[in-house]
Amino acid sequence: MRITSAEVAALLLSIKVSLFSLVIMLPPGLLVGWLLAKHEFRGKSILNTLVMLPLVLPPVVSGYLLLILLSNNGPIGRLLSEIFNIEIIFTPFAVVIAISVISFPLLVRGILTGISSVPTELENAARTLGASPLKVFFTITLPLAHRGIIGGIILGFSKSLGEFGATIMVAGNIQGKTQTIALAIFNAVHLGQDITAFRLVLISTILAFISIWITERITISNNHI
Amino acid sequence: MNGNTGILISIRKRLGNFTLEVDCNIQEKVTAFLGASGSGKTTILNCISGTLSPDEGRIAFGNQIYYDSETNINVPPDKRRFGYVFQEGNLFPHLTVEKNIRYGQSRTNRKNRDSITQVVEILEITELLERYPNQLSGGQRQRVAIARALAMEPRLLLMDEPLASLDGGLKSRIIPYLHHIKNAYEIPIIYVTHAITEAMALADRAFLLDDGKVTTSGEPYQILASPSALPIAHLTGVENIFSLPVASSDKMKGITELEIGGQQLVIPYIDVEIGKMVPVAIRAEDIIISLEPDLPISARNILNGTVDEVDDQVMLSILVEGQRFSVKITHEARQQLQLDKGKNVYCVIKANAINLLWHDT
């Protein structure tokens, strides 16, 4: 009962796109989390609603909206294909976009909780000690918010690994190209390949287990805060 | 600008129903803003530090303007270089004591091992440098907070009730450190407190704040004599505070005599030059009223004075050589002794009931 190359490909693709999505979404996630946690500005509630929307929308709906935007007839898709000659739909990049949109609210939630927990008095104290707002962010806010931020990262990453609805809408289910582990499980069950399905479910469970374990390790390691 | 080296704080700030409106020109080295909680003390410091912007006015120190609503100047807090010691310390919990202290230092000083030696020694925190803030006691934490504000080499030191979170015994142990700092550093200090004793011990000048406005200003013990200071004195629990010169001191007998007009106030021995002023505090309930001077009792001090005022709160105000003593008595005692305005009385005080606020050794 050996793991097949298709299964390995699905697993690797899931990990790759999830990591890639995390890397590109973390900076905007930190920015949005910081803005929502520490600032008052016009349109704050609109920004909050927009960011959190994918959390409440059915993923299939988010996926459908993305499909309309990104297809060759859609406003963004047309621009990309005419100017750069790039097609996104049904490529691994479409997977990245789909899982990024779906996991972003979870990432921001964690960051927002973490940054909100940092007392403004400490940030003010750092300002009076000569630190610019940017230095305060990197030397005080970020380190003290690390629990929430790591929580958001793990939650977002796990969501990315298992995303199904939006991915299948914009990226399809192409084996070896856009078939992530969630899609592969769906495929296997659909085709009655119970053993394959069971193996993939087991791998997913182990991945989830590891991510929770890492979170715990990281949060416990610094006990001064 | 006639070579003005003072600090000008002329600001207005509304916060909800509360309005802070002060106009002070500070020339002294240590200035105290005295007031009950909610009187606007912290708001003043936040405006000076730049962490809060006033609605209008002007903040200047020497020739440098930090805030001016007319010309739209508002220097951000990180460019002001005003050291700020917060009531709760506000140490960074993820950094060691040493890293906390070095946080505000310039890049060159941060690499220089000796650059914090002086401040660390004055505040006696050398042993604590490797610890984290949650491994410190309240008093240690406050000393580190003071060291952190000093290590940045500030132009001005702002202190917001740095002793408020400490209990009585610890307070009196930190005050000498503050005195040391006052003498060791050339920077002006603005100190905010609700405790007259602290203001007496440290400040050269005090402003009494009530509901966002300055009601009185002057030397701290002068302020105490003003009627508006009474609520604050009660808050501190010490109603009688005087600054008196040393008349004589006898180490063998273990007593020091302070001069109060023509009379003497005996206190436990302190090692202070004759003629030096020392601030002392006496609680209103520690004074006994007698109609006779010659009593077979152990108390060392029997001061002659006259009743000046009697209020319903059974608080007597007695004038001894021009100094006002507040004395708490029972209603019965007042009737029995017929303590009315103008009556000649004797204030009996145990030497040990007289608390020394501070003295230079």
CA distance B278 to B246: 7
What's the whole-number mean pLDDT along residues B194-202?
79
Burial of B125 by CB count in 10 Å (0-12 exposed, 13-18 middle, 19+ buried)? buried
Fold of A5-57+90-221: MetI-like fold (1.10.3720)
pLDDT in tens, B330-349: 888 888 888 888 899 999 99
Q: At CB < 8 Å, which residues of chain B contact A?
A: 49-51, 76-84, 86, 88, 90, 92-94, 103-104, 132-134, 148-149, 152
Minimal-distance CA residue of chain A relative to B93: A225
Residue A79 pLDDT: 86
pLDDT at A28 over 50: yes
Q: Where in chain B is the domain with CATH 2.40.50.100?
A: 241-356
Residue B2 pLDDT: 41
Indicate the Cα dihedral angle A21, A23, A25, A28, nearest 10°.
Answer: -170
B100 Cβ neighbours under 8 A, 6+ residues apart: B91, B92, B133, B144, B148
CATH, domain B7-236, list 3.40.50.620, 3.40.50.300, 2.40.30.30, 1.10.1040.10: 3.40.50.300
Residue B49 pLDDT: 96
Query: What distance lies between CA B84 and its chain's CA centroid?
Result: 16
Residue A220 pLDDT: 67
pLDDT in tens, A91-122: 999 999 999 999 999 999 999 999 999 999 99
Per the CB < 8 A criterion, the answer to whether B246 and B324 are in contact is: no
A43 or B300: which leads in pLDDT: A43
- Residue with the two structure tokens 């917001």: B160
Q: Among the ranges B99-103, B214-218, B237-241, which has the highest mean pLDDT value?
A: B99-103
Among A130-134, A196-200, B299-303, the range scoring the smallest mean pLDDT is: B299-303
Query: Which among A127, A130, A140 has CB closest to B51?
Result: A127
The closest alpha carbon to A51, from A97, A88, A104, A15, belongs to A104
- Architecture in CATH of B241-356: Beta Barrel (2.40)
Among A129-133, B1-5, B65-69, the range scoring the smallest mean pLDDT is: B1-5
The closest alpha carbon to A125, from B39, B148, B144, B95, belongs to B148
| Interior/surface letters B186-207, b for 16+ CB within 10 angstroms, e for the rest | eebbbbbbbbbbbbbbbbbbbb
Q: Where in chain B is the domain with CATH 3.40.50.300?
A: 7-236
What's the whole-number mean pLDDT along residues B278-291?
85
Per the CB < 8 A criterion, the answer to whether A35 and A29 are in contact is: no
CA distance B48 to B161: 15
What's the whole-number mean pLDDT along residues A34-57?
94
pLDDT in tens, B122-169: 888 999 999 999 999 988 999 999 999 999 999 999 999 988 877 766
Q: What is the mean pLDDT of chain A?
A: 91
Q: Which two tokens stand for residue A142?
A: 């970020």
Query: Which among B51, B132, B134 has CB closest to A128?
Result: B51
Residue B33 pLDDT: 93
Residue B1 pLDDT: 38
Q: What is the mean pLDDT of chain B?
A: 87
CA distance B137 to B281: 28
CA-based nearest distance A125→chain B, Å: 7
Q: At CB < 8 Å, which residues of chain A contact B?
A: 119, 121-122, 124-133, 139-140, 143-144, 222, 224-225
Residue B32's CB is within 10 A of a number of other CB atoms, namely 30
What's the whole-number mean pLDDT along residues A34-45?
94
The closest alpha carbon to B226, from B202, B245, B249, B210, belongs to B210
Per the CB < 8 A criterion, the answer to whether B121 and B130 are in contact is: no
Among B11-15, B236-240, B259-263, the range scoring the smallest mean pLDDT is: B236-240
B239 or A190: which leads in pLDDT: A190
pLDDT band at B50 (very low <50, low <70, confident <90, very high): very high
B316: helix, coil or strand? strand
